[in-house]
Structure 1
Amino acid sequence: MKKQGILNRELAGIFAKIGHTDTIMIADCGLPIPDGVTCIDLAYKMGKPSFIDILETVLGDFKAEKALIATEMDAENAELYSQLTPFPCPIEKVSHEQLKQKSVDAKVIIRTGEATPYANILLQSGVIF
């Protein structure tokens, strides 16, 4: 049995296939999921699991070299935005519409139960060497 890291078998398998510059997205429960993009739906109740819980867990098992968030997050969800600092890699801001467009190329979208505005982040894979 796996001792640490991501226990969800689908996520663990996807993470094992991720290469440098591939992207994954952690999303709130309202983000539209583009056709053809794998979605691992972890939501089980409004607000659960939270965006931050999943983000922290993913970052413990995933090397990110860059992150993208919506420019709207800092004004419309200041509490969540404040929890993103310090962050282990540079964060770029794009419009929410641009972030949704970029989700089309994600290897996976991890849907949380988060029900606050703009609680979405696109993580670009780095390398561990």
Structure 2
Amino acid sequence: MKRNGILNVELSGALATLGHTDLLMVVDAGFPIPRTTHRVDLAIAENLPDLRTVLSLISDELIVEGVVRAEDVTTNSPHLEEWLQQQFTDAEFTTRTHADMLGELAKQAKVIVRTGAFEPWGNIGLYCGVDVPRWFGGEGIIVPDYYASKL
């Protein structure tokens, strides 16, 4: 038996498929997931599981270098925005239109995780990164400028 971390076999396996720059989306219960995207459905009932719990557990297992959310989050959901900023302190934040989140971005996602969240604009994209010190910390390795601040 696994000692800790995500126990859900499908979610754990899906996370293991992700590499640098891959997009994972964690979405609310009503998100229109494209048929061709790998879907991990965790929804049981309203707010079970909730968005923040799933994002928090995933952030313990992935290196996240980018967070994308609908521009409505920054203006209309300040509590979610504040939580995201505190949860993903090392990530670069970007916004897209709500329509882009539901359409174009969803089609680009390698994996979409559906939660039971009933939360406006509760659809968050996470871009996977690399563990910079482990990749570039070796002797004789020249660190690219864009990673130097993360060493």
Q: Normalising to structure 1: TM-score of the pair? A: 0.93
Q: Which 5+ residue runs of structure 1 have no aligned equivalent?
A: none
Residue type at the aligned position of 2:39? C
Which range is displaced more, 25-34 or 79-88? Answer: 79-88
In structure 1, how many angstroms separate the alpha carbons of the residues matched to 2:66 and 2:24? 11
Greater relative contact order, per chain length (Cα 8 Å cut-off, separation 6+): 1
Alpha-carbon contact 1:41-1:112 (below 8 Å) kept: yes
Residue type at the aligned position of 2:25? M
Alpha-carbon contact 1:77-1:116 (below 8 Å) kept: no
- 1:78 CA drift (Å): 2.3
Q: How many residues align?
A: 129
| 2:118 alignment partner in structure 1 | 115
Alpha-carbon contact 1:23-1:105 (below 8 Å) kept: yes
Which range is displaced more, 48-57 or 82-91? Answer: 82-91
| 1:104 alignment partner in structure 2 | 107
- Of all paired residues, the percent bearing the same amino acid is 34
In structure 2, how many angstroms separate the alpha carbons of the residues matched to 1:47 and 1:81? 18
- 1:37 CA drift (Å): 0.6
In structure 2, how many angstroms separate the alpha carbons of the residues matched to 1:12 and 1:67? 20
Structure having the larger proportion of residues in helix = 2
CA-to-aligned-CA distance 1:30-52 (integer Å, 9 cap, x gap): 11001111111111111111100
SS in 1 for 2:84: coil
Residue type at the aligned position of 1:114? A
- 1:90 paired with 2:92, answer yes
Residue type at the aligned position of 1:106? A
| 1:76 alignment partner in structure 2 | 76
